[in-house]
Amino acid sequence: MTKIDGSLSKEVVEFQPGGNRANFEVYVTNKSDRFASFRVELLAAGADPNIGHRWYRLSPEVSAVKPPGDKTTFSVDLLSSPIPGVETINVTVQISSLEFRDIFRLSLRLKIIDAAEPSWLQIELPVKNRSLYPREQIDIPVKITNPYQRNVDVVLSFRGIEASWLDKGTERRLFIGAGRDSETSFSCQPPIAVRAPSKKYPFQVQAYLQGKLVGSADGALEILPVGGVFFSCSPKQHWIPKKNYWFFNLSSKPVNYLLKFKNSSNLFQNIWIDIKTKKAKKITYKCNPQDGNAAPGETLSIQLEINKNRPWFGFTQKLNLEAFTNLRDERLGKTDPPSQELELNIRPLFPVWLQLLLILLLSLLLLFLPALLEAEGHTAQVNSVSFSGVVDPIVSGSDDQTVRSWEATPDRFFCKFLKWQKFCLKSNGILIDNTAEGTGEKRVSVLRYRSERTDQLGVGLENGEIFLWEVNKKEKIDSFIKQKADRVFALEFSKNSQYLFSGHGGQLWQWDLTNPGKTNSLFAEIDPNRFAIFTLALSQDEKTLIIAGRYNKILLGSWENKNQLPRFKSLESYPKGAIGDYITSIVTTKSILVTADTQGYIRLWNLQECSPKPNECRPLERWQITYQSGKPMPVRSMALTKDGSYLIAAGDDGIIRLWILDDREIKRQPEYISGIEIAKYPTRINSVDIIALDRRLLILSGADDSQVRLENYVLIK
């Protein structure tokens, strides 16, 4: 007894190649006494054995395992004729099982209906996407199939690529038999690099039958980058002034170096220049144009104008400069060479013989200049600066493991007698020394004055230790640490000075300074991934605590219970960042929240609206600070006056910028939309602070060059 039973939905099937789809169904019943799976195969009498089952498609190809008596339905779609040129074909439908050897066969008659006119041919590109270099020759193979019952005379046309790239022409003519396929190829050779820019070139192979489009296939050629950009300079040596002199000469006209960039590659390049020298802070330079574009084969010329203030005395100074190039597209590396060494010679204002006459007066003046000019300061980069509530004392913390005290005073020589500015910065010496106070040779990360006690200071160190310091008495009040090597990134006191918040690498701590038994309230569930907390702030009404840091994450929490940390909610509208992206600074007033990040963005928010519903809060205004090249400039620090009227920000470009805000509408005043440049320094600025005093703003900054600086900005009445 057979274990397989089968039947067909149709015993005669009509199929027109290239026309409507033809299909039928095969029904298979499991007549065995066990579970079994089945498969179906179509065998056409007289067909080429190499064609296999490519002329039809089965669904499913193999049935699932079926229990005894269960039925499986196979759907068969006909794709082409198994025997070209034959009108009637006998087909055997063979059913077999993987579990036993029984085979069941059914007969099917297939009638081929020839189309009156072929309407579509099958065109195939074995390799659709090819990569090659300029002047490299390749063949692009094309396969075309005629599914019809009649012969066709086809013209293939290659479109999308310049005809000059195809050295054997853009057309091929093929005679293809009924149900047969044929192959040909197009030979392609791009021109030299400067005439073949590196990019993807889409193309299409089209088939025409008696002028009618009957098929197409798409592909693409990618021209790979090759060549280079050659950098030259003329002249390489200049003098200021250009001519020598015998007497006093005040001329200090800038000099020009002509920089040329020959683009011998097949890349479109945007080029700009950086100048490096050991005395970079004493020279000024500009490029015309600031950056330029060079198409393949073009030469870009940039005028580099350099100026330097000439010394009054001394010998001719020789200044060695290096012009470094920057390419927007560095797939081929830097320019050749990547830099040019330039020489600038600066003659003094007074010739040597005249200097000898003035040496006595100069010697006397030099006896006083060290006392007037020499300012005691840090020896490494400054990480944090802060005014007290009444300006003085000013404090600064540095990588040199010290905290220094300063005073804003008009009593220094240049302030009082030369009247250069109303306030100057005077050093009061070291407040905390690494050896004397035992900081364990760890750098000072952050400083924060205790809110209601301006003579007391919170100091956060890189080793995770926090000091409370009496500034006037120069003595330590207390110190505490929870986890060593867990750097302190941010500190914030409550107004009554009872509580202190500290932000670390993924942890936030709340310290009760009046109750030692409750000083360690660890909060590690802000985020399951424990992002590093880089900055934090407490709103003026102390109802909201804001924390932010890595991945551009910012969280707002309602601080209702003073004995424990708030419950935080994420400010979802802030764009998410990568591992190297940080929100670096947040400042607040009663109604304003300002944020800044390493992408150069500064955002203004309505804190009163964001606090209750952070998920629905959106920034009221946003702008980005960039370098002259257009690249984002990371903002490292911000400060806001207590009334919310004046905002300053600084970062990696060394520029301190000021914006005047409308604190009621929480936006920049229109006439100050681009900000005011207060000062520009040669290195990155890490920390700023601001205080409004007597119709002027005092602006404090600390930078990578170890300097603490004080700027005066007079407000317009």
Tens of pLDDT, residue by residue over 403-420, are: 999 988 765 555 645 444
Buried b (16+ CB within 10 A) or exposed e, 203-223: bbbbbbbeeeebbbbebbbeb
CB contact at 8 A, 439 and 461:
yes
Report how far residue 496's alpha carbon sits from residue 490's, in angstroms, rounded to the nearest whole number: 19
pLDDT value, residue 467: 86
What is the average pLDDT across 680-700?
A: 92
**Which pairs with CB-CB distance under 8 Å and at least 24 residues apart come from 624-628?**
624/599, 624/600, 625/600, 625/649, 625/651, 625/653, 625/657, 626/600, 627/653, 628/290
Higher pLDDT, 278 or 340: 340
pLDDT digits (tens, 9 = 90+) for 634-672: 999 999 998 899 999 999 999 999 999 987 888 999 888
Report how far residue 488's alpha carbon sits from residue 19's, in angstroms, rounded to the nearest whole number: 75
What is the average pLDDT across 72-76?
A: 93
For residue 435, name the pLDDT band (cuts at 50, 70, 90). very low
Query: What is the β-pairing status of strands 103-112 and 12-15?
Result: parallel
CB contact at 8 A, 179 and 84:
yes
Lowest mean pLDDT among 247-251, 425-429, 577-581, 619-623: 247-251
- What is residue 626's DSSP assignment? B
Q: What is the mean pLDDT of the chain?
A: 86
Contacts of 381 (CB under 8 A, 6+ apart): 398, 399, 686, 702, 703, 704, 705, 706
Collapsing DSSP to helix, strand or coil, 105 comes out as strand
In what helix (H) or strand (E) does residue 201 lie, and over which residues does it extend? strand 200-209
Report how far residue 88's alpha carbon sits from residue 46's, in angstroms, rounded to the nearest whole number: 11
* Burial of residue 506 (number of CB atoms within 10 Å: 0-12, 13-18, 19+): middle
For residue 524, name the pLDDT band (cuts at 50, 70, 90). very low
Given the structure tokens 């699932």, which residue do they identify?
64
Half-sphere exposure in the Cβ direction for 331 (13 Å, CA): 12
Report how far residue 109's alpha carbon sits from residue 11's, in angstroms, rounded to the nearest whole number: 6
Q: Please provide residue 40's backbone torsions phi and psi, each rounded to the nearest 5 degrees.
A: -125, 140
pLDDT value, residue 519: 53
- What is residue 62's DSSP assignment? B
What is the average pLDDT across 228-233?
A: 93
CB contact at 8 A, 342 and 285:
no
pLDDT value, residue 526: 46
Higher pLDDT, 390 or 451: 390
Report how far residue 717's alpha carbon sits from residue 63's, in angstroms, rounded to the nearest whole number: 89
pLDDT value, residue 358: 76
pLDDT value, residue 419: 46
For residue 367, name the pLDDT band (cuts at 50, 70, 90). low
Contacts of 205 (CB under 8 A, 6+ apart): 123, 125, 142, 156, 157, 158, 159, 186, 216, 217, 219
Interior angle at CA 121, CA 119 and CA 124, nearest 5: 155
> Is residue 19 over pLDDT 80?
no
pLDDT digits (tens, 9 = 90+) for 118-143: 667 889 999 999 999 999 999 999 99
For residue 76, name the pLDDT band (cuts at 50, 70, 90). very high
CA distances from 334 to 80, 109, 293, 404, 411 (A): 56, 71, 15, 44, 53
Q: 201, 203, 204: which is closest to 222 by C-alpha?
A: 201
Judged by phi (left if over 0) then psi (alpha if -120 to 50, else beta), residue 227 lies in left
pLDDT value, residue 133: 94
Which tokens sit at 524?
């590690």
Which tokens sit at 31?
């007549």
> Is residue 280 over pLDDT 60?
no
Other beta carbons within 10 angstroms of residue 140's beta carbon come to: 21
CB contact at 8 A, 274 and 280:
no
pLDDT value, residue 464: 84
Instruction: Go through the domains of the chain in sequence order and give each one's CATH number.
Output: 4-112 (2.60.40.10), 122-223 (2.60.40.10), 229-346 (2.60.40.10)
Among 13-22, 167-176, 238-247, 365-374, which range has the highest average pLDDT? 167-176
Report how far residue 581's alpha carbon sits from residue 546's, in angstroms, rounded to the nearest whole number: 18
CB contact at 8 A, 469 and 455:
no
For residue 391, name the pLDDT band (cuts at 50, 70, 90). confident
In what helix (H) or strand (E) does residue 353 lie, and over which residues does it extend? helix 352-373
pLDDT digits (tens, 9 = 90+) for 194-217: 999 999 999 999 999 888 998 999
Q: Please provide residue 261's backbone torsions phi and psi, each rounded to the nearest 5 degrees.
A: -130, 110
For residue 360, name the pLDDT band (cuts at 50, 70, 90). confident
Collapsing DSSP to helix, strand or coil, 402 comes out as coil
* Burial of residue 124 (number of CB atoms within 10 Å: 0-12, 13-18, 19+): middle
Beta bridge partners of 505: none
Strand order in the sheet with 56-59: 4-8, 22-30, 71-78, 56-59
pLDDT value, residue 439: 55
Buried b (16+ CB within 10 A) or exposed e, 162-171: eeebbeeeee
pLDDT value, residue 374: 47
Judged by phi (left if over 0) then psi (alpha if -120 to 50, else beta), residue 666 lies in left
pLDDT value, residue 265: 93
> Is residue 520 over pLDDT 60?
no
CB contact at 8 A, 587 and 640:
yes
pLDDT value, residue 296: 93
pLDDT digits (tens, 9 = 90+) for 585-639: 999 988 899 999 999 999 999 998 898 888 889 999 999 999 999 999 999 999 9
